Amino acid sequence: MHVYQILLSLSVIRYVVADNPTANVSSGTLVGRSVEFSHEDVDITRTLYVFKGIPYAAPPVGDLRFRPPQQVEPWEGVYNATEVGFACVQSISPLYSFGELLNEDCLYLNVFAPVTNSSNLPVMVWIHGGGLIVGSGTNGGLYDGTVLAAIGEVIVVSFNYRLGVFGFFATGDKHAPGNYGLLDQIAALKWVKENIAAFGGDANKVTIFGESAGSISVEHMLLSPMSEGLFHRAIMQSGTSSIFGGPRVDAEGQATLAYGIGNMLGCEQDNTEDLVRCLRTVPTEDFEPILNPEEGMLATIPGIDPDIGINPYAPYFDGQLITVVPSDLRNPGTLNKTGVDILIGANADEGTLLFPYVVPFQFNATEITLSRAVFEQYFSAFMFGSFKSNPTILDAIKLTYVPWEDADSDDANYAEAFSQMQGDHTFVCPSDLSARAYAQSGANVYVYHMTHIPATWLTGLPWTKAGHGEDLPFVFGLHFSPVYTWTMPAEEVAMSRNIIRYWTNFAKTGNPNLPESEANSSLADWPRFEVPGLEYKELSLTMENKRALKARECALWNDFIPKVENREDEETATEPNEGDNGKPPECTAGAIHAAGVTVYCICALLLLPSLLVMPASPEYIL
């Protein structure tokens, strides 16, 4: 029995009377804790009021499963907001096993508010990562907001949202439209807008920020008409909505997946209404085969590609919350929040995230060696998009990344080529696409690229270098954290303080630089990203400014490959089929978008969009 199998009769509302800070919110009175922050490596001592485990929506259980979040019922007395609430039910992963109890009743948030003379502090709302299948708002202290709030003098809010099958199950129609996890995020932002003044926050100065799947979520919030007016700035760390081809678009394929999942859970129905009604009665613990499948089990569900693994719980193009697909970012007028300031970037070695899938897991290695044979074997295995079978495009990718100066040598190491290829394809160049789109729409955009290789790695594996997620200890100031044990050398302590300043300055003003009245020569000015210009900040010990980040590589992924695909699609669409009197093939789905490019002719045997997701494992932290 897993920890999420908790009796729902356990009360999560605890009434207390204590000499601690209180706040009056829309549902009643909260009592939190007073925390004193200080650290020998920072010249700040500050009191914070911390409130944890605040319900921002009704428990999404029973008949509310697979429905949008509902309003919290008001409570009487004082609600004890001193402990985190349940984390959402999720796949079991060692990286996210921080002792937090799991439950479907999980829609809770946390507020870290510095005590100052100001009654209108900027607010930073954190959206956690984890591939939309694991994680929580605090992750056992990794995302504790104490340091950011104390050093940056901002209010930090973190929250849980529904994950996996509970957050993204969809039938492709009105009976289960999906995206409940994203709707939870919108509900949390509405709660902030309505209640943050009770903590000294300014509802008109809200910044959303997230990493990996949290950053993907941030861009969905940026592009969704449903989040209009709920935030004013956005920080995207290693993730965009175009990763893995973007949201699913195939309603028929989504229904096939839904029926397959229903069959696995004993809900064999012949229509989606009855299917969803049945699934709402399935006990939480019976979802175990879906949450933590045995090897190969998900491949038995109709609609799952056994070769690449398709995540059944991805965002779905519902036409209401999600109305934009990745290729739309290339079209002027797509963005509906041009007044939002943007800070966006990725890390220099994002592609090392995939090394455990192509080489034996090497805990003690300091460097990974990848032979040419292994490189060829896995060359396209972790790419999304129909171009995986296009020899012209694959040759162009090899031409760009293969170390040709050593390629003829039997002992040539292809590890860096593989890492950079995958990192650019999945993180760096999608971020470049978004940055250009926002800048050209008139938004205030700042771009970063973290190149510093930390002294200590979140994974504990030195060959990850400046890998996926390695910016998190610097952003959350783990070296200064009162709840998370982490030590940095002196030069990294300074780097972390600078990054905290950049992030919180941006939250305050829309500009990561210090105001002129607080100018600090040790903190180099961060230039605005413009097209042309293409200037960005390198997150390193020296914080240098550079330009044209991966311009050649991103021209390959963002321009050349889509053009080749579109050209071949157009040529195919004009070729007559034999026995069809010279007429082009008839299309039943019209012009839709799939796999990150426009596909103009989708016929009856439409495949599911290629959304590549690795198994839930210690190494996979999207």
Task: Classify burial at 80, counting beta carbons within 10 Å of its beta carbon; exposed 0-12, middle 13-18, buried 19 or more.
Answer: buried
Q: What is the dihedral of CA 437, 441, 442, 443, to 10 degrees?
A: -50
Choose, from 468, 538, 593, 619, the residue flagged as catalytic: 468
Active-site residue among 104, 350, 470, 492? 350
The dihedral region occupied by 442, where left means phi > 0, alpha psi between -120 and 50, and beta the remainder, is left
Residue ranges with strand state E in 115-154: 121-127
Strand partners for 34: 49
Residue 612 DSSP symbol: B
Check if the beta carbon of residue 532 is closer than 8 Å to that of residue 543. no
For residue 137, which of 173, 170, 110, 176 has the smallest C-alpha distance? 110
Residue 14 vs residues 28, 58, 434, 569: alpha-carbon distances, Å: 13, 16, 44, 60
**Catalytic-residue membership of 212:** yes
What phi, psi does 316 have (nearest 5°)? -120, 140
Report the C-alpha gap between 464 and 352 in whole angstroms.
5
Asked if 272 and 175 touch (Cβ cutoff 8 Å), the reply is: yes
Looking from the CA of 350 toward its CB, the CA atoms found within 13 Å total 24
| CB-CB contact of 426 with 433 (8 Å) | no
Are the CB atoms for 58 and 72 separated by under 8 Å?
Answer: yes
Q: Is 553 a catalytic residue?
A: no
237, 539 Cβ separation under 8 angstroms: no
Residues 6 or more apart whose Cβ sits within 8 Å of residue 292:
91, 92, 616
Helix then strand count (H, E) for the chain reads 15, 18
Of the candidates 155, 7, 13, 35, the one whose C-alpha atom is nearest the C-alpha of residue 85 is: 13
Strands 597-599 and 341-347: unpaired
E strands, 468-620, are 535-539, 545-547, 592-594, 597-599
Sign of the Cα pseudo-torsion (85, 88, 90, 95, in order)? negative
The C-alpha atoms of residue 364 and residue 265 are separated, in whole angstroms, by 41
Catalytic residue among 93, 212, 217, 386: 212
Q: Phi and psi for 161 in degrees, rounded to 5?
A: -140, 155
CA separation for the pair 121, 531 (Å, rounded): 33
Sheet of 22-25, strand order:
22-25, 28-31, 78-80
Distance CA 24, CA 197 (A): 10
Instruction: Specify the 3-state DSSP secondary structure of 500.
Output: helix
The residue type at 188: A
Is the separation of the CB atoms in 219 and 129 below 8 Å?
no
CA distance 213 to 221: 12
Residues tagged active-site: 212, 350, 468
